[in-house]
Amino acid sequence: MYSDYFWAALFLLPNLLGFLVFILLPLIASFGLSFTSWDLLTPIKWIGLGNYKTLISDQVFWKVLWNTIYFTIGNVPVGIILSLFLAITLNQKIKGITIFRAVYFLPVISSTVAVAIVWQWLYNPQFGLLNYLLSLVGIDGPNWLSSTTWAMPAVIITSIWRGLGFNMVLFLAGLQGIPETYYDAAKIDGANWWALFKNITVPLLSPTTFFVVVISIINSFQVFDLIYVMTAGGPARSTSVLVHYLYQNAFQYFKMGYASAIGYVLFFLVFTVILIQLKRTKNWVVY
């Protein structure tokens, strides 16, 4: 009676509708809004490139842009290297291995707010565990979250800790997709662990690595919740990132147009970075 296409469309409809109404439409609308001045209540005013011009001369924008890049540079490489190391360590057939994997995955499924509050405790300069441990080895720990120098590293450490498990699971899946036979053959030829890692693991894991890099970069550029709860962008904006500034403009200052412009700057930034990554895949990703 109906064609297969009809049924396919029908079953896709719930998802498709949600995508259209809650993602695609707002996406297009906010692009339009980025050329306007609007506070939701008074009539929309078209101001052309006004918002983008303001952005260029807005010192706070440059500061939060730099903070976003700082966060990404701190978060992505270290997070990936650590989770790869973890995945290799946990990719063994020993008793209770699933327990270890579960433990490292736990932060991923914990609520960000809970994570942020626990880490606030750990970072407490006077009563926190971290400064206590540092004092045992004779280091006078900094005022982590109240210092403009240390607040960002502190947030990055928490973020790495939180993301570790997710990347680890991806890497584990990738590692288990590498046939054992390659390692066996190389071992017969007398390869040591470094040679095995460099010549078999790294190239054969590269599609996974690529995926992890892309996802991590996107997530880092879009970081918000952790920062919102841990530092609210402070002290003195030292941890305020693009999405935080966007949120402030939209929902605290009610500058929807300006916030949309920030959103689109973020979009093009991430888009460019990913595009560069895609271009470069030929050089290092082996399929």
Partner 1 sequence: MKKQLIFLILVIFSLLVFNTMIMAEQVTLQFMGWEASPLETESVKQGLEQFMKENLDIKVEYTPVAGEYAAKLLTMIAGNAAPDVFFIASDSYRSFQERGVLLNLTEYFNKEMDIDEFIPLSQDKMLIDGEIYGISSCDVSPVLFYNKSIFDEAGLPYPPSDPEKAWTWDKFLDVAKQLTVEKNGKTVQYGVSGFEISWVSAFCAMVKSNDGRVFNEDYTELLLDSTEAKEALVKIKNLQAVYGVSPLVIADVQQGGISATQMLQTGRLAMLVDGSWTLQQLAQMDFPFGIGVLPKFKKPVTIGQAHLYSAWAKTKHPDEAWELIKFLSSRGYQTKLVREGLWLPNRMDMYEEENLANWMNPDVYPDNFRDMVKYFTNYAELWPAVKVPSEAWSIVNEELGNFFVTDQSIDTVISSMKRRVDPILNK
Binding site for partner 1 (CB under 8 A): 39-42, 117, 119-128, 143, 145-148, 230-237, 248, 250-255
178 and 204 Cβ atoms separated by less than 8 Å: yes
- d(Cα 255, Cα 38) in Å, to the nearest integer? 6
Q: Residue 240 is encoded by which pair of tokens?
A: 């305020």
The dihedral over CA atoms of 51, 54, 55, 56, expressed in degrees to the nearest 10, equals: 130
- d(Cα 95, Cα 172) in Å, to the nearest integer? 17
Nearest residue (CB) to partner 1, 131 versus 167? 131
- d(Cα 237, Cα 245) in Å, to the nearest integer? 10
Nearest residue (CB) to partner 1, 237 versus 273? 237
Nearest residue (CB) to partner 1, 83 versus 249? 249
99 and 124 Cβ atoms separated by less than 8 Å: no
Nearest residue (CB) to partner 1, 208 versus 239? 239
Nearest-10 crossing angle of helices 202-221, 151-176: 140
Nearest residue (CB) to partner 1, 60 versus 185? 60
Burial of 169 (0-12, 13-18, 19+ CB in 10 A): middle
238 and 155 Cβ atoms separated by less than 8 Å: no
Give the nearest distance from C-beta 250 to partner 1 in angstroms: 8
Give the nearest distance from C-beta 156 to partner 1 in angstroms: 16
What three-state secondary structure class fits 195?
helix
Nearest residue (CB) to partner 1, 102 versus 236? 236
Q: Which of 221, 219, 239 is nearest to 230 (CA)?
A: 239
- d(Cα 259, Cα 270) in Å, to the nearest integer? 17
Nearest residue (CB) to partner 1, 128 versus 165? 128
